[in-house]
Amino acid sequence: MSWYPTRREMMGALLAGGASAQQNAELRQASGVKIGEITPASAVIWTRRTASAQRLNNGIVRRGHAPNASAPTPEDDVGRFEGACAGGNGFIRLVVEPVTGRGRRRTFSWVDVQPARDFTHQFRVEGLDAATAYRFAVETREARGRRQDASLIGSFRTAPLRSSGVPVRFVLTSCQMYCRMDRSDGFWIYDAIERMKPDFLVSCGDNVYYDSEDPIVNSPAAARYHWARMYSLPTLDSCLRNVPAYWQKDDHDAYSDDCWPGMVNPKMTPFTFEQGQGLFREQTPAPPDGQPMYRRFRWGTALELWLPDSRDYRSPNPDADGPAKTIWGMAQKKWLEETLANSNARWKILVNPNPIVGPDHKRKRDNHANPAFATEGREFRQWLKANVPGSVILMNGDRHWQYHSVDPDTGVHEFGCGPASDVHAVPPSEGEDSRYHRFLRIKGGFVAVQVNPDDRQNPLVFEHRDVKGGVVHRHVFGTV
C-alpha cells in the first residue's frame, strides 16, 4: 500500500473532494500521541483509542484551584467533565518507515486495548537507524474485521551515534496547570516549541496537578481524566505529534505536593502514592515495568542527558536532615556518580525535577536547595566540583520563576525553566539573591539549549525563552 498522506495532503484531498474512505472516517485518538525514550536505535510511541473523535468541549467545567478545588463525589461522572476523552474498546497498531522511503516499513500487529490500562498501548520500536527521520501512522479500529478509523500521523528523528559530532537542540518545560492556560487551546509555549523544531523536549514534572486543581484526584479515573484533559488540548496534540519528549514526574503528577512514598493526603483517599507511580508509567512513554524511572541518554559526541527520579526513593520530608536522609536513594546516587564520572561526553546535563542549587523559598523542605535535604545537596555539589569540574550543568523545573544560578561554594550552574504560563508564575519569597542569581524573571516560558560541537565560540548555549519563544536571557559556555 502507499504511505499515508501528510496532514497537509489530507486536507488538500478533502478540499479537492478526493478524500479516501479512511480520510472520511473519524479519528478515534482524541487524547493524542506521545513519542518518547528516543535513542539512536529505538523509540517508544504512546497511543490510546478513544470513544469519540474529539475531547468533550461542552462538558461540566472543573477549573478551580486550591483551596477552591474539590474531589469528585460518588455521584460525579468524570466522563461528563469538560475536556474528558473517554477510552474506547478496540484495537491499535503502528506503521513506521523512514521519511525518505528508502528503508524498511514496519507494521506492528494489532493490539487489543483494555480498560485496565485506560485503553493505552506503548509500542517499543527497536532496530532503527541513527540520526534518521521517521514518520508513522497510528491506526485504530473498533473490532476485528471492522473498518479502520482515521489514522493519526506523526514523525520523529532518532538520536545520533555517540561518535557523531552533530549539533543538538532541545527544550525544557515544567509546571503546566490546566486552569492557568494562557490561550483557549492550551499553552503558547507549545506553539513556540513546535515552530522551533527541537530534536527533543524534556518535561521535568508537574505535567498535571492531582492534588491542587479541580477535580482533586481520589481515584484512578479522576487521575486519568487529568491526563486526557491536558494532552487533548490542540496545542499539545499538534506539537507532540512531531516533537519527541522525555517525561519525568514530580510531586503533583505523582501524588501530592512535596510527596514521598507512603505519604497519605486525606483529601485524596482512597487514591495512593503507589497508584500515582503506576499511572505515570501508564500515561507517558516510560521504561518497561520493573526498570527504574531514572535513566540517561546520549546524543552524539558532545551531549549526555541524565534524568534522575526525585520521588520513588526519597526519605520523608519531615525527617531530620543528616547523612542518611536522601532524595535519590543510595542505588540511584551511586548510579549518578558512576555514570557521570565515566561519561566522555563534553557536556553532561542533569535534569532534576527539583532545584539542587536554588535558592528556594525559606519555608520549603522538599529539595536539595532546602535545609531539609541540605546534607545530600551539599555533598553532591561538592562531588561535582571534585570529580567532573565544569562539565556538568544542572537544569530543573518545579519553581515558578525562571532563573540562572551559580552555587557560590562550587561554581555549579543551574537553570530553572519556570512555569508553562505567566499566570502560573510566583516570585521567590526572598527575591533576588546576588550571591546566586545571574538571572531572575518572575514569568513563564521554557529553556532552550543548543549544543554545537564544531562552534568554538558557542559550543553550549542556554536561552531562557518567554511563553511565545522570545529570548529573555542567554548564557554561553566554553567561549574561547
β-pairing, 90-98 vs 106-107, is: antiparallel
What local confidence, expressed as pLDDT, does residue 430 receive? 77
φ, ψ of residue 411 to 5 degrees: the values are 80, 10
Look up residue 434 and give its amino acid: S
Pairing, β 34-36 against β 43-48 = antiparallel
Q: How far apart are CA 6 and CA 152, in angstroms?
A: 10
Amino acid in the structure at residue 221? A
Residue extent(s) of CATH 2.60.40.380 domains in the chain:
21-157
Q: What is the pLDDT of residue 12?
A: 35
Would you say 413 and 393 are in contact if contact means Cβ atoms under 8 Å apart? yes
What integer pLDDT is reported at residue 363 of this predicted model?
87
Looking at residue 24, what is its pLDDT? Answer: 65
Q: Nearest-CA neighbor of 150 among 22, 12, 9?
A: 22
For 304, 376, 426, the CA distances from 460, given in Å and listed in that order, are 13, 28, 29
Look up the pTM and report it: 0.94
Q: Which fold has domain 168-205+293-477?
A: Purple Acid Phosphatase; chain A, domain 2 (3.60.21)
Q: Specify the domain boundaries for CATH 3.60.21.70 within the chain.
A: 168-205+293-477
Lookup result for grid cell 545571574: 438
Mean per-residue pLDDT pooled into runs of 10, the chain (480 residues) = 41 36 78 98 98 96 92 95 97 96 88 97 97 98 94 98 97 98 98 98 98 98 98 98 98 98 97 98 95 97 98 97 97 98 97 97 92 97 96 97 98 98 91 92 98 93 98 87
Can you give the chain as a three-state secondary structure string? Answer: CCCCCCHHHHHHHHHHCCCCHHHHCCECCCCCCEEECCCCCCEEEEEECECCCCCCCCCECCCCECCCCCCCCCCCCHHHECCCCCECCEEEEEEEEECCCCCCCEECCCEEECHHHCCEEEEEECCCCCCCEEEEEEEEECCCCCCECECEEEEEECCCCCCCCCCEEEEEECCCCHHHCCECCECHHHHHHHHHCCCEEEECCCCCCCCCECCCCCCHHHHHHHHHHHHCCHHHHHHHCCCCEEECCCHHHHCCCCCCCCCCCHHHCCCCHHHHHHHHHHHCCCCCCCCCCCEEEEECCCEEEEECCCCCCCCCCCCCCCCCCCCCCHHHHHHHHHHHHHCCCCEEEEEECCCCCCCCCCCCCCCCCCHHHHHHHHHHHHHHHHHCCCCEEEEECCCCCEEEEECCCCCCEEEECCCCCHHHCCCCCCCCCCCCEEEEECCCCEEEEEECCCCCCCCEEEEEECCCCCEEEEEEECCC
Which residues, 6 or more positions from 56, have their beta carbon under 8 angstroms from its beta carbon? 79, 80, 81, 82, 83, 84, 85, 86
Q: What is the pLDDT, as a whole number, of residue 104?
A: 87
CATH topology classification for 21-157: Immunoglobulin-like (2.60.40)
